[in-house]
């Protein structure tokens, strides 16, 4: 939320008085330099110097006070802490190293390795089945499927297994003339079950689980209840629009507050900001609202077309929020143009007068400098030169302060 303090406007009469005082102090300094050998000249020089410095300080004070200040409300920050001792999750299919290998690696690199969590697979003990015929032992082979063991086709008593000639319909579709291909299929099924037990995720080669997940109906997402009461007008959330008759409509809101007084103050501030922005855009000058000053505040009540009050119901408790619809019609736009034209005329007159007094001051400084350095003058030329430089510098500083305080329109 942004809050701006009102700007200080410098009137024409005050500028004229300051200009006269500045020229008077400058003339007193010059006269004091001429009569520096007398007591009266030294007194005039001291008084003129003090008045000159005081006017400079006063002008700087007007500039500092007239500058705008904007305060930004601090927002709450969220601090995020990272746990350095947390073990990162291993990617899918990654096999953790043995504790002996991790100890050797940490000894070689010289960096301590964080302790990893041991993942133990749950193994269900199945009762042993004693088959009548013995099965050949598993032997390691140098074939291309190493390190998988070379499992030879087992021999089961008939009519059991996919190799029996009288098996039922369950095994009739899966029977294959190649025993090795059937064993590979059984091995993939067993590896898929082991992967699911270790990681808790179904493998990519299990179409049954995928079909079950796709067939499961998704739960409907419940929408949170709205805290906005019914009956809110449509213009509350609309963007600024220009109508066919040249009227501009802008909606402003106060924001949620506990008290209605806070809502009123915030809404007035938002209305003032919206009016200033409209004046700057309409008059095509970023300093228009600042130069108009209090004259623009008089139009604040005439722009409010409609006001709507509502009570919100958030989780923290009931809150109040006010909204206003601002209408900038052709009559208001005409008033803005009239005020701006009057301000431009005043600015031109003041600048003409300031330029005349500045030129007169420069001519006066050069005249006294030439008169004091003529023949028969007992004043030191160095003193005259120093006084001329100081006078011209003071005149330049006064001009800069004047331009910054009252820009040309």
What is the token pair recorded at 346?
């005043």
| Mean pLDDT, 10 residues at a time, the chain of 409 residues | 42 68 78 73 76 75 54 43 46 47 50 47 49 46 50 52 46 56 80 69 50 49 59 85 89 88 91 92 88 85 87 79 91 91 87 86 82 73 80 86 78
Q: Which of 268, 293, 328 is the last residue of a domain?
A: 328
Q: 259 and 318 share a domain? A: yes
Tell me the C-alpha distance between 325 and 253, whole Å.
9
Would residue 160 count as lying in a domain?
no
Give me the half-sphere count of Cα atoms (radius 13 Å) on the Cβ side of residue 166: 3
Would residue 120 count as lying in a domain?
no
Would residue 104 count as lying in a domain?
no
| Secondary structure in 3-state letters for 208-264 | HHHHHHHHCCCCCCCCCCCCCCCCCCHHHCCCCEECCCCCEEEEEECCCECCHHHHH
Q: Are 290 and 279 in contact (CB under 8 A)?
A: no
Would residue 372 count as lying in a domain?
yes
Would residue 141 count as lying in a domain?
no
Q: 324 and 272 share a domain? A: yes
The residues facing 250 across adjacent strands are 326
pLDDT of residue 223: 47
Q: 50 and 18 share a domain? A: yes
Would residue 167 count as lying in a domain?
no
What is the token pair recorded at 136?
């050949």
Tell me the C-alpha distance between 15 and 253, whole Å.
40
The residues facing 325 across adjacent strands are 251, 306
Would residue 323 count as lying in a domain?
yes
Q: How buried is 372 (Cβ within 10 angstroms: 0-12 exposed, 13-18 middle, 19+ buried)? A: buried
pLDDT of residue 167: 44
| pTM for this prediction | 0.42
Tell me the C-alpha distance between 406 and 399, whole Å.
10
What is the token pair recorded at 172?
């009739």
The total of structural domains in the chain comes to 2
For residues 90-111, b (16+ Cβ closer than 10 Å) or e, as one string? eeeeeeeeeeeeeeeeeeeeee
Q: 353 and 380 share a domain? A: yes
Q: Which of 328, 357, 375 is the last residue of a domain?
A: 328
Would residue 77 count as lying in a domain?
no
Residue-range definition of the domain harbouring residue 43: 9-64+345-405
Q: 315 and 254 share a domain? A: yes
Q: How many CB atoms lie within 10 A of CB 19?
A: 20
pLDDT of residue 255: 82
- DSSP secondary-structure letter at 143? S
Q: 303 and 259 share a domain? A: yes
Cα 382 from chain centroid (whole Å):
58
| Secondary structure in 3-state letters for 21-90 | HHHHHHHHHHHHHHCCCCHHHHHHHHHHHHHHHHHHHHHHHHHHHHCCCEEECCCCCCCCCCCCCCCCCC
Q: 261 and 309 share a domain? A: yes
Ramachandran region, residue 93 (left: φ > 0; alpha: ψ -120 to 50; beta: rest)? left
Residue 180: asked if its preceding bond is cis (omega within 30°), the reply is: no
Q: 322 and 261 share a domain? A: yes
Q: 315 and 357 share a domain? A: no
Q: Which of 283, 302, 328 is the last residue of a domain?
A: 328
pLDDT of residue 222: 46
pLDDT of residue 154: 54
């Amino acid at each position: 939320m942004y809050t701006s303090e009102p700007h200080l406007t410098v009137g024409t009469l005050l500028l004229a008085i300051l200009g006269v005082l500045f020229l008077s102090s400058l003339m007193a300094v010059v006269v004091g330099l001429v009569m520096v050998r007398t007591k009266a000249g030294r007194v005039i020089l001291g008084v003129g110097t003090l008045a000159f410095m005081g006017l400079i300080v006063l002008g700087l004070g007007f500039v500092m006070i007239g500058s705008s200040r904007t305060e930004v409300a601090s927002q709450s920050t969220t601090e995020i802490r990272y746990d350095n001792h947390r073990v990162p999750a291993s990617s899918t299919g990654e096999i953790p190293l043995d504790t002996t290998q991790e100890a050797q690696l940490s000894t070689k690199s010289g960096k301590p390795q964080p302790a990893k969590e041991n993942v133990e697979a749950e193994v269900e003990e199945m009762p042993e089945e004693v088959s009548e015929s013995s099965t050949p032992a598993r032997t390691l082979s140098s074939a291309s499927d190493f390190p998988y063991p070379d499992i030879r086709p087992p021999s089961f008593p008939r009519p059991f297994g996919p190799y029996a000639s009288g098996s039922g319909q369950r095994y009739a579709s899966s029977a294959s003339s190649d025993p090795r291909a059937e064993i590979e299929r059984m091995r993939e099924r067993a590896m898929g079950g082991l992967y699911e037990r270790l990681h808790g995720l179904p493998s990519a080669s299990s179409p049954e689980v995928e079909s079950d997940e796709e067939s499961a109906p998704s739960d409907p997402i419940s929408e949170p209840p709205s805290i906005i009461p019914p009956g809110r007008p449509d213009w509350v959330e609309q963007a600024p629009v220009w109508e066919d008759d040249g009227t501009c409509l802008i909606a402003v809101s106060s924001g949620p507050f506990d008290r209605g007084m806070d809502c009123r103050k915030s809404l007035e501030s938002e209305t003032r900001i919206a009016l200033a922005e409209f004046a700057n855009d309409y008059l095509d000058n970023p300093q228009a609202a600042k130069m108009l000053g209090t004259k623009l505040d008089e139009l604040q009540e005439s722009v409010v077309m409609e006001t709507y009050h509502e009570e919100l119901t958030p989780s923290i408790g009931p809150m109040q929020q006010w909204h206003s619809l601002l209408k900038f019609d052709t009559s208001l736009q005409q008033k803005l143009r009239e005020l701006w034209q009057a301000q431009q005329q005043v600015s031109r007159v003041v600048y003409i007068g300031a330029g005349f007094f500045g030129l007169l001051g420069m001519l006066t400084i050069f005249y006294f400098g030439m008169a004091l350095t003529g023949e028969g003058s007992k004043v030191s030329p160095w003193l005259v030169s120093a006084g001329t430089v100081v006078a011209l510098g003071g005149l330049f500083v006064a001009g800069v302060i004047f331009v910054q305080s009252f820009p040309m329109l």
